[in-house]
Amino acid sequence: MTTNANPREYLRHTVAAPDGVHLNRRMREVEISWPDGRTDKLSCLALRAACACSSCLHAKRSGRLALYDADITIVDAKPFGVSGLQLFFSDGHSRGVFPWAYLRELGEVE
Ligand SMILES: [Zn+2]
C-alpha cells in the first residue's frame, strides 16, 4: 500500500522550483520551465484529472467515475508556499495543490 502515493508526500521531496510557469489559456495548458532546461506542457484537463485534493482522492478510491469537460481551463495559478502551485479550475475547483515534484512527474508521464 505504498505505491499509490499521496501527492502531499511529494512536499517532503525537494525539487527546485521552476524558472517559470506560464498559463496558456488559448491552448488550455500550463507550460513549466525547469531549471535543468526541460519544459513541460500539461493540459488543464490532465491537471484537473490529476487533482489530488482529499475529495478527488476519495472519489478515485471509491471508484467513482469522474468526467471533466474537455474545455476545462485553469483560471488562476498561485504559488503554494515555495513547494508548489495551487490551481484554480474553470469548474470552480481549487482545492488541489500541485507540488513541484508532482508536476515533474506528471510531465514525465505525458
Ligand atoms: Zn480536487
Between the CA of 74 and the centroid of ligand 1 the distance, in Å, is 13
The pLDDT mean for the chain works out to: 87
Q: Which domain holds residue 13?
A: 7-109
pLDDT at 9 over 80: no
Q: Domains in the chain: how many in total?
A: 1
Q: Has residue 27 been placed in a domain?
A: yes
CATH label of the domain that carries residue 94: 3.30.2020.30
- The alpha carbon of 38 and the centre of ligand 1 are apart by a number of angstroms equal to 27
Question: 2 lies in a domain?
Answer: no
Q: Give distance in angstroms: CA of 33 to centre of ligand 1.
A: 24
In DSSP notation, 46-84 reads HHHHT--SHHHHHHHHTT------TT--EEEEEEETTTE
Q: What is the mean pLDDT of residues 55-83?
A: 88
- In angstroms, rounded to a whole number, what is the distance separating the alpha carbons of residues 45 and 33? 19
Ligand 1 centre distance from Cα of residue 97 (Å): 8
Assigned domain for 1 exists: no
Does pTM surpass 0.85?
A: no
* pLDDT over 70, % of the chain: 86
Please tell me the distance between residue 52's alpha carbon and the centre of ligand 1 in angstroms: 5
Give the range with max mean pLDDT: 14-18, 40-44, 63-67, 68-72: 40-44
Stronger pLDDT, 69 or 103, i.e. the higher one: 103
Q: Is residue 60 part of a domain?
A: yes
Per-residue confidence (pLDDT) for residue 110, from 0 to 100: 54
- 86 is a domain residue: yes
Q: pLDDT class for 15, splitting at 50, 70, 90?
A: confident
**Residue matched to cell numbers 508556499:** 81
Q: Report the length, in residues, of the chain.
A: 110
